[in-house]
Amino acid sequence: MIEVRHLRLLQALATEGSMSKAAKRLGTSQSAVTQAVKLLEDQLGTALLVRTHTGIRLTEAGAVFVRHGQQILAAMAQAEAEVAAVANLRAGTVRVASFPSAAATILPRALGSVTREHPQLRFTLTEAEPPRALDLLRRGEVDLAIVYVYVPDSDQEMGTGVPVPVLQADEVAQTLVTEHLHVAMPAGHPAAAREAVEVSELGLQRWIAGCPQCRGNLLALCRAAGFEPDIAFETDDYVALQALVAAGLGVALVPDLMLAAARPDPGLAVRRLVPETARVVSSVTTQVLAGSPGVAVTTAALIRAAASLREAIDGAAGVTGNTGS
């Protein structure tokens, strides 16, 4: 079997033109070079070198061997350089899967800051709700999955026991932000005059539901309040959802990131939901990928971006009191 050391040996012999100089270049003895050439010639069944009174020259077979060896060694050198570049954050790609509202809010802040510090690091984004995002991670198609889990009021103790998605043994999660859920309704709705609205008051309303996981949370909240929601529309598009509500076609549950991602329609009223319900957003990767410099620096940027966004959301809520439309 031809090995890389054989390629380097013939390359040195072709460049230096003598056994002794090639041995010096390779950091070995002339006898070791002579023996290695003999073994390689025996393996290939043909002579690679001809000894002359001035040194050595390649046979036709030797020239072919060196020509192909140069291409292989050049490709290996390029591969080694690219691996080193990835390890040093000079190049590489981090593949991310995220649900839409995080992709529109947390990710731009995070990836923008990483790109400014490491301009050769690249990113790809696949838009996917949590179940599919985790599936993409487990199939090796992405390096980071941004996901969420709902936390009902009975399970909430803000700041303690923050839940994470159900993980496999080789996966790790980093909590990014806890979102509060609100109820969105037309600005002219009778309940819009109050700061908070109880779920039990909305039993006779038509509802606009989101993704399957969001719909599941809506069903659980309404059933806990004693009624089955009348779901008139379903859409994964948060802009469309807000427009449908503003048009008077139903009420909906909206999390903080959804409100931050799209400027609320002036015909929309957003009120605090009782009982309080939250959605915990996390980034998930594998234990091996977590040690990759690209993934590590991206995860750190996601944490900073989420914290900054949380402060901005809380600041805006303090200004508006969440009482306006």
Same domain for 107 and 80 = no
Domain termination residue (choose one: 28, 54, 87): 87
> In terms of pLDDT, which residue wins out, 164 or 305?
305
Same domain for 105 and 34 = no
Q: What is the pLDDT of residues 84-124, one digit of tens each?
A: 767 777 778 999 999 999 999 999 999 999 999 999 899 99
Q: What is the pLDDT of residues 15-58, one digit of tens each?
A: 999 999 999 999 999 999 999 999 999 999 999 999 888 889 99
Phi/psi at 264 (5° precision): -55, 140
Look up residue 292 and give its two tokens: 């990759």
Same domain for 277 and 146 = yes
Q: How many folded domains does the chain comprise? A: 2
322 within some domain: no
Same domain for 20 and 105 = no
Indicate if the pLDDT at residue 322 is higher than 90.
Answer: no
Same domain for 58 and 107 = no
Same domain for 151 and 127 = yes
Same domain for 125 and 59 = no
21 within some domain: yes
Residue 173 has a pLDDT of: 95
Instruction: Look up the pTM and report it.
Output: 0.75
For residue 310, how far is the Cα from the chain centroid? Answer: 20
H or E element: which one contains 65? helix 60-87
Q: Give the pLDDT band of residue 317 (cuts 50, 70, 90).
A: low
Same domain for 175 and 127 = yes
- Rounded to whole angstroms, the Cα distance separating 241 from 258 reads 10
Residue 252 has a pLDDT of: 95
Q: Give the pLDDT band of residue 171 (cuts 50, 70, 90).
A: very high
Q: What is the pLDDT of residues 274-299, one digit of tens each?
A: 998 899 999 999 998 998 899 999 99
Phi/psi at 199 (5° precision): -55, -40
Q: Which domain holds residue 11?
A: 4-87
